[in-house]
Structure 1
Amino acid sequence: MGRRDLRGLKYLHAFIDRHGKARYYFRRNGKRTPLPGSIGSREFMDAYAVCLADEPAKSSRRAAAAPGTFAALAVSYYGSPAYRDLATSSKANYRRVIDGFLQEHGHRRVDQIRREHIDAIIGKMANKPGAGIVLLKRIRTVVRYAIAIKWLRHDPTLGATSYRSKEFHTWTEKELAQFEARWPEGSRQRLAYTLLLYTGQRGSDVYRMSYAHIDGDTIEVAQQKTGQEDSDEKLVIPMHRNLRRELSLAKRKHVVILTTAYGQPFSLKGFGNFVSDAIQAAELPARCKAHGLRKAAARRLAEAGCTAKQIQAITGHKSLEEVERYTRKADQMLLARQAVAKQENNGGS
């Protein structure tokens, strides 16, 4: 890869080691992270995408944590196998939420936390119910770690409730057609939509996909949420003809498939905003979110008669429970149509 391509990767630096081998690292705000593999390879681009999506720390120095406090507990937890064994993306998400909690409550003693304190903390997040759900999960994470290392004897989060999680809306065929009518084939918006819909993956995996992941008529996916990027358990998904066509029309400017208007890789947040803007421009209802395309992919597969196992082979769900909901709904719809058809054919009114 030439010098021009190297400059196209933001924050990327390179040097030749004493053995004459090219070495690459990601450097931002003084933090330097080595990147594995050769430039453009799967492992290289996955590591680069994670670094790019990582928000730089607001402060490089933090006051020493007082013994027995949540701040001290977090330091211990971050050094534990329970945290270190998490997938790279999960580590970043856990730390973001826990560090946010520490900003207000890090000075409080762990052994003095009570159920009513948990309720009060979560209760303040009525305007952000989704964040409240996640915060309660992460408080439970550190509290149960505290129990494991004998800082606590009882779990103060037991019985604590958060806001009900709202299920993502599954896009209808009419909504899919409306998006396609607004964004023609060959546009960046249509490419992002097609990757989401025809791979059935989360946005956190789609924005990182590179041309190095494509092998003939298949695309390889290492799901961050399930920790597959740190293992050999990767999905190999045959590409639907609509996806192959869209990729053939794409203006290839980078090793990463989806890029900004300036030809640079997206951050995860930037990709989310890009898709949200495209949905809004298509004048779709607010219920239509990027994740709903993953659900639409599973719905279509179920309606095509795919088994739960076959759908799971595409979406990569670890549990069959959610996948089976799609097949049950599709079976119900099919049986209902057959019932009405029989009624009509029998002359029923």
Structure 2
Amino acid sequence: MRVKLKGINTVRYPAADGSTVTYYYHRATGRRLQGEPGTAEFQASFEEAGRASSQERGAGTVSWLIRQYCDSLQWKKLAESTRAIGTLNLKAAEAKWGTTPLKHVENPRSRPLFLRWHDSLAETQPRAADNKLAALARVFSWGYDRGHVTHNPIATFERAYGNSRAELIWLPEHVTAFEAAAGPEIELALLLALHTGQRQGDLLRLPWSAYDGHAITMRQGKGGRKVWIPATIALRDALGTAPRRATTMLTKADGVAWSKSAFHHAWKATFAKAGISDDLHFHDLRGTAVTMLSEAGCTPQEIATITGHTLASVNKILEVYLARTKALAQSAIVKLDAHCRNAR
């Protein structure tokens, strides 16, 4: 069946032999379409012109730059969950700034305008305000690297949300209380997090095939980094006795793999049952694993190869956490005593 396409201009020209030649053009872009109406070639040519029209729509504006960024490799290589959150933040930024010409963005005097928008959002939602401005800043940074803008007016800004979780760590008493309240399925999740330092999403997807009896090999969802994690004795014992009821290591009691929401509710219920007063999250186990590895004598470089953090991130975590751990304080004094004895 022939489909009538809208947005086509038909132009007829007389040929030298007296006949009439007909050309077809895409109305929005002025592109000449190839083939004859009703053919696959014509349809493909029309669709290609439509895509070009979409890309050219609003060229030179913030909306256009956001579309270019979301079509880039840098955006596509992000984890799906990261893109989902980023999309919401970019939609909010586009609703406010979409029609703004890029020539206005790259003017240094535009910075106060963006900061005032951030401040107005921060009055009621400081964390959301930070995320929205940070998402827009990433787009401008990407555009600067590729020559679309000559200046990023919000390359740096003071964040409104000051509540950092950097000081929060699972202490031995927290772990003991949680284990006492947890069923075997949740307890295995706790052990995997503590002994691998991986994110919740990666652990929920972790298949048994990633474990060879000695180490876990996996590719992280965020950043795609491949890590090789030798299993501790405690982790080997736990995995050796855990039932293999599905392709994934972590499952519900009925053997069905966890959904993100189901695991969240089960973890939250266990935490409440444990009666832990501190505001600790699953993600805090990742930083806790970094400190455990450091206390065991691992260097930042060794820690980074296991947890998948960048070296800079490991050092930042250690700066905050390790100043508060008694084990390292005691170790430092022992080393100082030894140095003093040798110096006599």
* TM-score normalised per structure 2: 0.67
Aligned to 1:322: 316
Aligned to 2:229: 237
Render the CA deviation track for 1:287-332: whole Å, top value 9, x for unaligned: 2111211222222222223332332232222215236536676674
User: Given that residues 78 and 223 in structure 2 are in contact (C-alpha distance below 8 angstroms), is that contact kept between their aligned partners in structure 1?
Assistant: no
Superposition pairs for residues 110-259 of structure 1, below 5 Å?
Answer: 110-113=102-105, 114-123=110-119, 124-163=121-160, 164=162, 166-168=164-166, 169-184=168-183, 187-228=184-225, 234-259=226-251
Please say if 1:312 is aligned against 2:304.
yes
**If you compute each CA radius of gyration, which structure gives the higher value, 1 or 2?**
2
Which of 268, 280, 284 lines up with 1:288 in the alignment? 280
Task: Find the aligned partners of 2:247 and 2:283 in 1 and give their Cα distance.
Answer: 24
Structure 1's 151 and 315: CA in aligned 2 closer, same or farther, altered over 3 A?
A: closer
Judging by fraction of residues, say which structure has more helix.
2
Q: Which runs of 5+ in 1 are unaligned?
A: 1-63, 229-233, 343-349
Of residues 71-80 and 85-94 in structure 1, the stretch that sits farther from structure 2 once superposed is 85-94
Superposition pairs for residues 75-86 of structure 1, below 5 Å?
Answer: 75-86=67-78
Matched letter for residue 218 of structure 1 = A
Task: Find the aligned partners of 2:217 and 2:134 in 1 and give their Cα distance.
Answer: 31
Aligned-partner SS, 1:226 = coil
Task: Find the aligned partners of 2:329 and 2:180 in 1 and give their Cα distance.
Answer: 27
User: Given that residues 179 and 282 in structure 1 are in contact (C-alpha distance below 8 angstroms), is that contact kept between their aligned partners in structure 2?
Assistant: yes
Aligned-partner SS, 2:217 = strand
Task: Find the aligned partners of 1:196 and 1:174 in 2 and give their Cα distance.
Answer: 17
User: Given that residues 256 and 265 in structure 1 are in contact (C-alpha distance below 8 angstroms), is that contact kept between their aligned partners in structure 2?
Assistant: yes
Matched letter for residue 200 of structure 2 = G
Task: Find the aligned partners of 1:297 and 1:264 in 2 and give their Cα distance.
Answer: 27
User: Given that residues 141 and 155 in structure 2 are in contact (C-alpha distance below 8 angstroms), is that contact kept between their aligned partners in structure 1?
Assistant: no
Q: Which runs of 5+ in 2 are unaligned?
A: 1-53, 339-344
User: Given that residues 183 and 190 in structure 1 are in contact (C-alpha distance below 8 angstroms), is that contact kept between their aligned partners in structure 2?
Assistant: yes
State the Cα distance separating 1:140 from its structure 2 match: 0.8
State the Cα distance separating 1:125 from its structure 2 match: 3.2
Structure 1's 209 and 285: CA in aligned 2 closer, same or farther, altered over 3 A?
A: same
Task: Find the aligned partners of 1:119 and 1:245 in 2 and give their Cα distance.
Answer: 53
Task: Find the aligned partners of 1:201 and 1:190 in 2 and give their Cα distance.
Answer: 15
Please say if 1:278 is aligned against 2:270.
yes
Task: Find the aligned partners of 1:293 and 1:154 in 2 and give their Cα distance.
Answer: 39
Structure 1's 290 and 142: CA in aligned 2 closer, same or farther, altered over 3 A?
A: same
State the Cα distance separating 1:176 from its structure 2 match: 1.2
Task: Find the aligned partners of 2:201 and 2:89 in 1 and give their Cα distance.
Answer: 17
User: Given that residues 308 and 327 in structure 1 are in contact (C-alpha distance below 8 angstroms), is that contact kept between their aligned partners in structure 2?
Assistant: no
Identity of aligned residues (%): 25
Task: Find the aligned partners of 1:146 and 1:182 in 2 and give their Cα distance.
Answer: 50
User: Given that residues 217 and 238 in structure 1 are in contact (C-alpha distance below 8 angstroms), is that contact kept between their aligned partners in structure 2?
Assistant: yes
User: Given that residues 115 and 160 in structure 1 are in contact (C-alpha distance below 8 angstroms), is that contact kept between their aligned partners in structure 2?
Assistant: no
Which of 281, 284, 290 lines up with 1:298 in the alignment? 290
Aligned to 1:334: 330
Task: Find the aligned partners of 2:181 and 2:336 in 1 and give their Cα distance.
Answer: 35
* TM-score normalised per structure 1: 0.66
Task: Find the aligned partners of 1:262 and 1:68 in 2 and give their Cα distance.
Answer: 55
User: Given that residues 92 and 132 in structure 2 are in contact (C-alpha distance below 8 angstroms), is that contact kept between their aligned partners in structure 1?
Assistant: no
Task: Find the aligned partners of 1:262 and 1:74 in 2 and give their Cα distance.
Answer: 44
Task: Find the aligned partners of 2:147 and 2:299 in 1 and give their Cα distance.
Answer: 46
Task: Find the aligned partners of 1:174 and 1:106 in 2 and give their Cα distance.
Answer: 51
Structure 1's 310 and 339: CA in aligned 2 closer, same or farther, altered over 3 A?
A: closer
Aligned to 1:20: none
Which of 90, 98, 118 lines up with 2:90 in the alignment? 98
State the Cα distance separating 1:90 from its structure 2 match: 4.5
State the Cα distance separating 1:196 from its structure 2 match: 0.8
Matched letter for residue 317 of structure 1 = H
